[in-house]
Structure 1
Amino acid sequence: MAEPAVPISHPRLELSLAEARTRFVQLARLAGLTRQTIVVTDGGRPLAAIVPAAEAGPAPGNGAAAGWIRRIEKLRAELRRQHAGLERALDQAWQELDRLAPPGTDARLDALRTAHSDVRSPGP
């Protein structure tokens, strides 16, 4: 019987930080083409690795980051809903003030109307 094929192992290549810096583009392409991992060392200690993209794990935007983005969007929607409710309540309060003391009948309320005219919605 024939023996099963053994996958070709891709030996690690170790380079110093200075050498990796000068040959980075070449090393990145080498990793992608040969599926070889390049270990960058600093003083003989492994510091980082250049690995083929297929072995690097999930693409950016997946995993924890996607969870945080969903949570932020959910909070934004909740804040928009609360803001709309507060705007409606404030509009109703101004309408009630306008009904009880129409413009021109109370100087203090007229001063408030003027001071807040930039945030007030137009009256009925």
Structure 2
Amino acid sequence: MWRSGRRDTFVAVAEKLRFSRAAARLHVSQLPLPQAILALERELGAQRLHRNSRQVSLTQTGDVLLRHCRHRVRDADRAPRRSAAEVCISSTEAVAHPSTTEPKQDAAHLPHFELDHA
């Protein structure tokens, strides 16, 4: 299960397309972000970002994951009284029944999410 902090890290890097800007958005040091993204990609079994010393861009599966993360955040914001279990169930259903507009191979790599309620 993914925690919201890991989701937020991916979303920040994916939206800002720069580790330095993502770090500023998250109020963290830039140094651990590339390692966190690499660990995420290993866990999910697919590269989500193309990166080199000068730029970061989304892969096709990274774009699908970013859209999925945005939907999960929106769903959580709309229903703040939903339990973590309900969010996980809805996420599982989204993975089991992906939109026909998304490539089938991408759906297999989408994570299940669990919101942190601290």
Q: TM-score if structure 2 supplies the norm length?
A: 0.21
State the TM-score, normalized to the length of structure 1. Answer: 0.20
- Which structure has the larger Rg over C-alpha atoms? 1
